[in-house]
Structure 1
């Protein structure tokens, strides 16, 4: 629910200017490759720590951490907080883990921007992390004991990462259909992303 009203004086407050003062990323690893032994939250910690180093900002100056993570299964509770703590950010810093599928990291950056622009914070960390190599298989019948017969596993990548829960389609197929419908060529997509 959203609405516009003159009853709130803060709605006319001038937005603060926002700038990015540091960034980093890990290399893109191949599935099951050299980064597969590194947990997703550790990848997040590495990038946060390096971004802070490059910007000259101390971990205790960070006022909020927004991190996107699509498949949190197997990472433990609150992946954004784990990544923040691993980067040396104090435990009293609020952290938010977001899941908007492929747009998770971008939404984290958007919320970080809004947090600074509205004056809610002066220094935020925003980004995303994932390790598809570490996404587990699920056993949907193990909790209460397997009965008689074969048991199958569900691939967490398939179930929670690459499969549209609403249309029952693969996300890659959905992307192709979207591109065809909007007459966007592969070359245009590549040019836009680069």
Structure 2
């Protein structure tokens, strides 16, 4: 579970003898800052964009694709069995509550504004390419999964497993290069399981920024037609503590029997995790 809207502000334990105390936003300070280089994660992602010559136009184009895919998937009820409706108290609602049954971000997009937005982390004159449009948004969310052994599932005939875990791997690089860490985790996973990437039917690469997906698609030489086929964090949002579970659950629900899929996600410490699933 992640509630980015409820993250607190910090105050120093000891008040200064003179002058005011400074508030620290824990969302930025703890969640979205590189503790080694003391810069925002967006600045780190800008380095990846520069290193790999991934332009703003490339990122905007990918972001539009993410939104279009999520819109199409929602219109075809792809997420019906994936999203659990929740009720939120609302005094002005007829029943005293509002029921949330779908993600909201993909409906808010205005493609016309994409080219007009200023870079969020570096000025355009300094090569800034990442904007609010081609990065993921700040969101609340929760995701849950049940894991059990094959023997346990066999004993309880009421259980209908969606997928089995063939393998998983973690890998890391320098913190400033966190955006490319997923390809390291995936390569380690494929080597340990002896599976060729050509045999992977579906890929879920968490879209912390559009450049993350684009960089790892290039580094792994993946066909974009198999990656994030129903959109990703750019168009759904990225509640940072739950996104890994979300993409894994979505992958498990989409894999047909015998098909293989990989989900991978980076973290702010320069690391990444990857998991290989087989649909049942």
TM tier relative to shorter chain: 0.3 to 0.5
Greater RCO structure (CA 8 Å; 6+ sep): 2
The normalised TM-score by structure 1 is 0.46
The normalised TM-score by structure 2 is 0.33
